[in-house]
Amino acid sequence: MGKHIKFFLEQSWLLLVASVFFGICLAGLNAWWEPKIIANEIKKFNDLAGGLLTEAEKFEPAEVLTIDIGKGKTVDTQVKKAVSGGDVVGWAFIAEGAGFQDKIKLVVAVDKQFNKLRGFGVLSSNETPGFGDKIKTGDFYRNQFIGAPCEEFTLSKVGDDKKIDSEIVAVTGATVTSESVVKILNNFISQVKAQMKEKGYI
Amino acid sequence: MDTVTVLLMGFISIMIVNNMVFSKFLGICPYLGVSGRIDMAFGMGCAVTFVITLSGALTWLIDYCVLQHLGLEVMRYVCFILVIAGAVQLVEMYVRKFFPAMYDSFGIFLPLITTNCAILGLCLFINLWGIDNLPEAVVLSIGAGLGFTLAICIMAGIRENLALADVPICLKGAPITLITAGILTLAFMGFAGMIR
Amino acid sequence: MANATDISISKTFIAGLWEENPVLRLLLGMCPTLAVTAAVKPALTMGCSVIFVLICSNIVVSLMRNLLKPHLRILMFTLTIATFVTIADLFLKAYVPDMSETLGPYIPLIIVNCIIICRAEACASQNGLVVSVIDAIGMGLGFTGTLCVLAGIRELLATGKVFEIVVFAARDPVTNEGWFTPWAAMGMPVGAFVTLGLLLGLVNLITKKQA
């Protein structure tokens, strides 16, 4: 038995020593860089939400809500309140759902009473370059949501994109992506609104 | 009913719509290397399907049950690759001992599989998509493996016929294979958006 | 004697750039080559990460080369590489977050990039420290160069820009200014495959003319 253990150690001591050493290295680096990584994520959220709620000075975590995204699945989303000089000026949260190719993650900003949408920003998406990614790069689609009422959005292929209402004109060549965004927004806004009302925030 | 739909959709999605080779560029090396003959390609596909199912399930278990509980996400890549390398070696030894005939037919591909990006890629995507139950992880792994087999067999079939074609000399071999693959991805793009 | 080593060092370096260019000649590391070359910036980031991992893993493997047991060799290589890739990934997440997001899972996929494991096996586990490092730099630069050329072509044709600087003015649908119609297919998988195929063909043509 002792012989076996000796043989085992002889063969693998380098692997074991290296594992421990590399493990310590990684743990150290992670401890050093992790605050920075988290700060980056918060900064990205704040930049996107701050661009929509321009009057907000900072965003504070308010509530973690569980949202049903269909097919028996749920996600947790953090709702943050936008604060300006001690007053709440709006709410921002991350909404996600399936897009054309991959998951789409949006930052959604609404006003204090959940009456009007202040717009959305794309946190991460992997849509077709040149078509679907216009939800991220172009203003045409996004601008239709700025100031739109927080109710069920509908998608149409022809219509007036300048008129701000709950009717949204799809991006040409990217109907599916446009549909996905509308679906994600409808789903999240209605559920967040209902849950926030229940919790007495509005 | 919901679960079954999710599983079925996930399966078709990863096998055809989001095929690893055509939409995520994973597993290109063996795809170019072994797709010369259709029987070799099929052997490779089977080996990959086998290993990908095993390692997909194992890495999901390790990630979900151990790493995320202990907050050790930083060790994820190291653990994943060790699990895959270990799984490949285990499978190789097992197959050699108990199924010598099978080992003769696709055993030679097994060591190559460790560096097949499709496998590590799938493990990472399962984690990225936030899959939170074992059946879904397993079904996705099997689908990815079959999708890879499908892609490599289609390619091998085309290449067998391409051997008879008159290709400009400087494009012979890898270049024409890549261009063919490009046209194939165009064909597979027709499935895009079918399942969400 | 010193002269002879100098020659072999410069030869190793040059070989990585052209004669044994990992992508164009050895057909290694195809997955990242195809996946990250939709634009120059991610391609460059990817190239730098690969150079970093390649140098570090070559140093470690070269230092350990006399201690390696044959059957545990590959396991040791992958362990080393995975560690350095994790470091590179953390670094990108901390200091270049938007690039880290664009590249997504393709950074961890450097672990299974055949270039690195191939150089560890073929060069670092048999040669001394200096040669291994030079080889890593040469190979890494060859890889990065190829990536950038490919990405340049694709980005130019797909968006009319190179390195996010406008070269061809894209046609505006409203004002009708500019003449270039962006070629969206170049940004998709098909563009990657076809461009790389044609590039390989071109390289074959040039080599044959030289011979």
Contact assessment for residue A77 and residue A90, using Cβ atoms and an 8 Å cutoff: no
- Residues of chain C with Cβ-Cβ distance to B82 below 8 Å are 75, 78-79, 82
Please give the pLDDT value at position C54: 92
Is B3 in CB contact (< 8 Å) with chain A?
Answer: yes
Rounded to whole angstroms, the Cα distance separating B134 from B53 reads 11
Residue with the bigger pLDDT between C179 and B142: it is B142
- Confidence check: pLDDT of C152 > 80: yes
A22 contacts on B by Cβ (under 8 Å): 78
Whole-angstrom CA distances from A65 to A49, A70, A192, B3 are: 18, 15, 7, 23
**Closest-CA residue in chain B for C87?**
B74
- Are A26 and B78 a contacting pair, CB within 8 Å? yes
**CA–CA dist B144, B156 (Å, integer):** 18
Query: Are the beta carbons of A40 and C93 separated by less than 8 Å?
Result: yes
pLDDT in tens, C31-43: 778 888 888 999 9
Q: How would you classify residue C118: left for phi > 0, otherwise alpha for psi between -120 and 50, otherwise beta?
A: alpha
* From B78, B129, B132, residue closest to A103, measured CB to CB: B129
Q: What is the dihedral of CA A13, A14, A20, A23, to 10 degrees?
A: -150
Q: Report chain B's mean pLDDT, rounded to a whole number.
A: 83
Interface test with A, best of C78, C93, C99, C155 (most A CBs within 10 A): C93
Range of the domain at A134: 47-198
Q: Give B87 to chain C, closest Cα distance, Å.
A: 12
Query: Chain A residue closest to C68 (CA)?
Result: A14
Let me know if residue A6 belongs to a domain.
no
Distance of CA C108 to the CA centre of its chain: 14
Residue B29 structure tokens: 């090396």
* A89: in domain: yes
Q: Is there a contact between C69 and A129 if contact means CB atoms under 8 Å apart?
A: no
Query: pLDDT higher for C205 or C27?
Result: C205
DSSP string computed for A78-110:
EEEEEEETTEEEEEEEEEEEE-SSSEEEEEEEE
Asked if A18 is an interface residue toward chain C (Cβ–Cβ < 8 A), one would say: yes
SS3 C125: coil
pLDDT of residue B1: 60
Alpha-carbon distance values, A93 to A79, A82, A97, A114, C37 (Å): 5, 10, 14, 12, 33
Q: Is residue A192 part of a domain?
A: yes
- What mean pLDDT is predicted for residues B87-114? 76
Q: Residues near A201 by Cβ (< 8 Å), separated by ≥ 6? A: A62, A63, A91
Give dist(CA B28, CA C165) in Å, integer.
31
Q: Please give the tally of structural domains in chain A.
A: 1
DSSP chain B: -HHHHHHHHHHHIIIIIT-HHHHH-TTHHHHHHSTTSHHHHHHHHHHHHHHHHHHHHHHHHIIIIIIHHHT-GGGHHHHHHHHHHHHHHHHHHHHHHH-HHHHHHHGGGHHHHTT-HHHHHHHHHHHHTT--SHHHHHHHHHHHHHHHHHHHHHHHHHHHHHTTS---GGGTTHHHHHHHHHHHHHHHHTTTTS--
Asked if B185 is an interface residue toward chain A (Cβ–Cβ < 8 A), one would say no
For chain A, list the contacting chains (3+ Cβ pairs, <8 Å).
Answer: B, C
Q: What is the structure's pLDDT at B105?
A: 67
Which residues contact residue C36 at a Cβ distance below 8 angstroms, ignoring those fewer than 6 apart?
Answer: C42, C43, C46, C103, C106, C147, C151
Judged against a pLDDT cut of 70, whether residue C5 lies above it is answered with no
C184 to chain A: closest CA residue: A130
The answer to whether the CB atoms of C204 and B175 lie below 8 A apart is yes
Burial status of residue A140 (CB atoms within 10 A of its CB: 0-12, 13-18, 19 or more)? middle
What pLDDT shows up at residue A2? 77
**Domain residue extents for chain B:** 34-160, 166-196
For residue A184 the two structure tokens come to 């994600």
Question: Count of B–C CB contacts within 8 Å?
Answer: 128
| Domain annotation covers residue A158 | yes
Tokens 């190979």 belong to residue: C139
Show residues of chain C in contact with B189, CB under 8 Å: 188-190
Cα–Cα distance between B62 and B134 in angstroms, integer? Answer: 11
Interface probe, candidates C65, C69, C100, chain A, greatest A C-beta count within 10 A = C69
ipTM of the predicted assembly exceeds 0.90:
no
* Highest averaged pLDDT of the listed ranges A194-198, B98-102, C160-164: A194-198
Q: Which residue of B has its CA nearest to A103?
A: B129
Backbone angles phi, psi at C41, to 5 degrees: -60, -50
Q: What is the mean pLDDT of residues B51-74?
A: 87
For residue range C184-202, what is the model confidence (pLDDT) as tens digits? Answer: 788 888 888 999 999 989 9
C13 versus A180: the higher-pLDDT residue is: A180
Amino acid at B94: Y
Q: Which residue of B has its CA nearest to A28?
A: B74
The mean per-residue pLDDT over the stretch C16-33 comes to 78
Interface A:C, Cβ pairs < 8 A:
59
Question: In chain A, which stretches have pLDDT less than 50?
Answer: none
